[in-house]
Chains A and B, each alone.
Chain A
Amino acid sequence: MVRNNMTEPTIDIRFYLNGIAFNRNAPASWTLLRFLRDALGYTGTKCGCEVGECGACTVIVDGQPVNACLILTPQIDGANIWTIEGVAAAGANELHPIQKAFLECDAAHCGFCSPGMIMSTIALFLKNSNPDDAQIKQALAGNLCRCTGYIQIIDAVRKAASKITENDLQKFVS
């Protein structure tokens, strides 16, 4: 362990972020959310309540959706992490089918909850790519939309489910 200039203890961690291998020195008491945003500059993951209630910071860790505000950097050592920045294919000039469905269904009003909603949708599809409405609602129950655009969001998930292929999901678990 070494100390950084903020006299915070740091820890050396290795992880995959959006398919890229990282080896970083991270402040050990930082949450994954803060580390993504303030250290790595990945600001697509939003900071909402910071206590696990709102889901704006949902990311996928080892195939499972989790709140990035409730995980500390030492806890992601060795993990495979996906954030909204990695959803569309790298270098492609095209959005991912789930993102397209969100656009087409007007599922973003202010857009603050969208990254979390999309990460929860990916996680749902990893388990069940043909969900019924009850399963969609359950999968998104940990993501709040303060504009209350839930109808459009659920429409978007339903539409995405009708389009999604295994190929569109494979990378999130490999």
Chain B
Amino acid sequence: MSLPEPLIPKSLGDALKAKAGKNVVAIAGGTDILVKLHDRFDDPQPKLLILDHLKAIHKIAITKKEVTIGPLVTFSEIEKSDILKAHASQLTEAASLAGSTQIRNRATIGGNLANGSPAGDLISPLYVLGASLELSSSKSKRIVPIEEFFIGPGKTVLKSNELITAIKIPKLNNHGFFLRLATRRALAISKVSVAASLIIENKKIESIKIALGAVAPTVIRATRTEELLLGKALSPQVIADAASIIKEEARPIDDIRSNALYRKEMVGVLLKRGLEGILNG
């Protein structure tokens, strides 16, 4: 690997100006991009834009209505954040299960999103938390709901002159879970993941979102299963019904990590485990 001179901006403004340049690729934790560049010798090599020093987008903040996470916040920082434990337990759980200690210390939330893998573990939690992303260029800024950000595997609506500059999560008093299945507990990419966020009043499910990772070209919502559960009280029968229809919502493929049939079955198993966890308090 031999790359052109990297760009090392000291401020977000400088970074956004530099991002407008030709063939400029941002690098945050580097845990995806350096793996991709490792065996790549083809031209033209990208000019790396090193985000490490941009403190302004490396923090977690909370206001009355929402929690804002800077894109450079690492998995380790998410895992430890009291704010996120209180308002986004699905996200802290997902961050704690991914990679290894070494990877979590470098991997960032912005990199997980921009990388666009349907197996990115922070994505399904952000779907069910109703997150939105702030995408900025040197000229403008736009807010994109997370479900409109991904177009396909590795493909997002991020323009070449844009950076993700914030991830915003509305404050909800939700129950929830994130469960994943991988070959081993550490250092393995998810074969399947299920995230959910529920608001339960007087035992009745007043609101529910379920998202599935690694079983479609992008993370997807399980809307039919959500509809089935909405308005009901959790019971073993309701959970069994939900676990059986959610299998049909998954659209997995066979690949090196798993096969479609197994993935479908496991989506049901993970949903069942998660909902039982809530039912049994």
Contact = CB atoms under 8 A, between A and B. Distances in A.
A125 to B, nearest CB: 13
B187 interface: yes
Interface of A: 1, 6, 8-9, 11, 28-29, 31, 50-53, 55, 58, 64-67, 69-72, 74-75, 77, 120, 123, 138-139, 141-143
A141 B185 contact: yes
A72 to B, nearest CB: 7
Contacts of B186: 138, 141-142
A142 B34 CA distance: 17
B30 A75 contact: yes
A11 B6 contact: yes
A141 B48 CA distance: 30
B35 A51 contact: yes
A158 to B, nearest CB: 18
B157 interface: no
Contacts of A55: 100, 102
Given A9-B3, A28-B5, A64-B105, 14 more contacts: A29-B48, A31-B34, A52-B99, A53-B187, A55-B102, A58-B102, A66-B105, A66-B106, A70-B31, A74-B8, A75-B52, A77-B53, A138-B186, A141-B185
B205 interface: no
A52 B102 contact: yes
Contacts of A142: 99-103, 186-187
For the complex of A and B, the 5 pairs showing the least CB-CB separation, nearest first, are: A142-B100, A141-B186, A29-B3, A9-B5, A64-B105
29 contacts: A8-B2, A9-B3, A9-B4, A9-B6, A11-B6, A28-B6, A31-B34, A52-B35, A52-B99, A58-B102, A65-B101, A66-B102, A70-B30, A70-B31, A70-B106, A71-B30, A72-B27, A72-B50, A74-B6, A74-B8, A74-B50, A75-B30, A75-B50, A77-B8, A120-B101, A142-B99, A142-B101, A142-B186, A143-B100
Nearest to B105: A64
A65 B100 CA distance: 10
Contacts of B100: 52, 55, 141-143
Main secondary structure of the interface of B (DSSP, over half): loop
Contacts, number: 89
A139 B101 CA distance: 6
Nearest to A7: B2
B91 to A, nearest CB: 19
Contacts of B8: 11, 74, 77
Interface in B1-18: 1-6, 8
Nearest to A69: B34
A23 B106 CA distance: 24
B76 interface: yes
Contacts of B50: 72, 74-75
* Most chain A CB atoms below 10 A, which of B4, B8, B30, B186: B30
A51 B52 CA distance: 19
B48 A72 contact: yes
B38 interface: yes
A129 to B, nearest CB: 16
A8 B3 CA distance: 8
B2 A72 contact: no
Interface string B30-68: 110011001000000000101011000000000000000
A123 to B, nearest CB: 7
A68 B53 CA distance: 18
